[in-house]
Amino acid sequence: MKQNIAHVAIVVDDYDDAIAFYTQKIGFELIEDTKLNEEKRWVLVKPKGAAETAILLAKAGNTEQKSRIGNQTGGRVFMFLYTDNFWRDYNIMLEKGVEFVREPKEEMYGTVAVFTDLYGNLWDLLEPKGSKKN
């Protein structure tokens, strides 16, 4: 048996703002943007080089969903973006205006810093120990 997680949804306020953030500031690829009806689109982004999992940018459709924008995990780190070159990606993201809320730190498992997406969700940027650099 083989299984994998295909998509993880992030609740967003605006499709176009979210696409711009993830593609222009973090460097993800837009892999699909399909209009489903007047209010909904199927929007997928993924890190360059990612083989399977993509992020579904899901526009909040009601008050309950809107209340979760930016705080889908109660203030804990929500996503973990692995990289093969921490300092390259960290510096590019800084130059593009990504806000880091925890400075880079060497941990026993690798180099890590915490940044926020445009809504305030927390992300780890992490280069695991022993990863190969290009």
Domain spans of the chain, in order of start: 1-69, 71-134
**d(C-alpha 115, C-alpha 93), whole Å:** 9
71-134: CATH topology: 2,3-Dihydroxybiphenyl 1,2-Dioxygenase; domain 1 (3.10.180)
Give dist(CA 50, CA 56) in Å, integer. 14
Residue 43: per-residue pLDDT? 98
Fold equal for 1-69 and 71-134: yes
Does the reported pTM lie above 0.85? yes
Dump pLDDT digits (tens) for 79-93: 999 999 999 999 999
Q: Is the pLDDT of residue 68 over 60?
A: yes
**What is residue 132's predicted lDDT score, i.e. its pLDDT?**
58
Which pLDDT does position 133 carry in this prediction?
53
The correct CATH number of 1-69 out of 2.40.30.10, 3.10.180.10, 3.40.190.10, 3.40.50.170 is 3.10.180.10
Q: Is the pLDDT of residue 99 over 80?
A: yes
Average pLDDT over all residues of the chain = 94
**In the prediction, which pLDDT does 49 show?**
86
Give pLDDT tens digits for 6-19: 999 999 999 999 99
Half-sphere CA count of 110, side-chain side, radius 13 A: 19
83 CB contacts (<8 Å, ≥6 apart)? 89, 125, 126, 127, 131
Give pLDDT, residue 50: 87
